[in-house]
């Protein structure tokens, strides 16, 4: 069986893959993965789109409006993956990149660094999630909302079936929270439940797709 190969785009040392790494380790029989450190000068332009079976774009303190060499190249890669029906997951900044790649507005917001509740649009289940945002997207044309906040503003979306943007952070682990000096949620079931949701989403996107 040929293994699918995923690329993870990482933009700094702080915003890492978290529980995604554990999920990848559980699927070594079907998946391989490469993490590309764009902050360390990796050039996306020569990357062969035919080598990509899935793309995960991690969070960043950067802005979609920054003039970093990789910023526009990343959005071109997103559109290329979409044309080839390659699944893409964007988290935080990554979700903003997906939105901007399809001409949706991305605007600065008052920085959010706290636990908040979101509701799954499909089943109305609530999740307490870590939010760490300084920009927010508007829904791209044709996108469907996956989660909304208490004000009914979309916090996650799916587009063209194979693109998913998450404004919140299901991937965080205890270690990541400690490194960011973030207090743990009061309910000890929060992180395992969030991580389980992300594992299921990753499997649906990158294995069953």
- The total of structural domains in the chain comes to 1
Q: Which range of residues forms the domain containing residue 117?
A: 4-206
CATH at residue 10: 3.40.50.880
Mean pLDDT for the stretch of residues 4-14: 96
Mean pLDDT of the chain: 95
pTM above 0.75, yes or no: yes
Alpha-carbon distance 59 to 9, whole Å?
9
Tell me which DSSP letter residue 62 carries.
S
Buried-exposed string 115-149: b where 16+ CB fall within 10 A, e elsewhere: beebbebeeeeebbbbbbbbbbbebbeebeebbeb
Using pLDDT thresholds of 50, 70 and 90, give the confidence band for residue 1. Answer: low
pLDDT tens figures, 29-48? 999 999 999 999 999 989 99
The pair of structure tokens assigned to 150 is: 């208490």
pLDDT tens sequence across 186-200: 788 999 999 999 999
Whether the Cβ atoms of residue 118 and residue 140 lie closer than 8 Å to each other: no
């Amino acid at each position: 069986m040929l293994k699918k190969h995923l690329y993870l785009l990482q933009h700094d040392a702080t915003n890492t893959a978290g529980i995604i790494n554990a999920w990848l380790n559980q699927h070594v029989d079907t998946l391989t993965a490469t993490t590309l450190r764009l902050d360390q000068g990796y050039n996306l332009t020569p990357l062969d789109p035919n080598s990509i079976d899935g793309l995960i774009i991690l969070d960043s303190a950067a802005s979609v409006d920054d003039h970093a060499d990789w910023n526009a190249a990343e959005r071109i890669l997103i559109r290329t993956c979409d044309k080839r029906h390659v699944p893409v997951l964007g988290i935080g900044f990554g979700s903003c990149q997906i939105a901007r790649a399809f001409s949706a507005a991305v605007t600065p917001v008052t920085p959010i660094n706290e636990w908040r509740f979101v509701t799954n649009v499909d089943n109305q289940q609530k999740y307490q999630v870590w939010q760490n945002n300084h920009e927010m997207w508007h829904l791209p044309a044709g996108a469907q909302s996956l989660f909304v906040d208490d004000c009914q503003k979309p916090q996650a979306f799916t587009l063209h079936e194979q693109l998913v943007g998450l404004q919140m952070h299901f991937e965080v682990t205890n270690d990541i929270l400690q490194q960011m000096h973030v207090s743990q949620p009061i309910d000890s079931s929060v992180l395992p439940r969030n991580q389980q949701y992300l594992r299921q989403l990753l499997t649906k996107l990158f294995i069953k797709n």
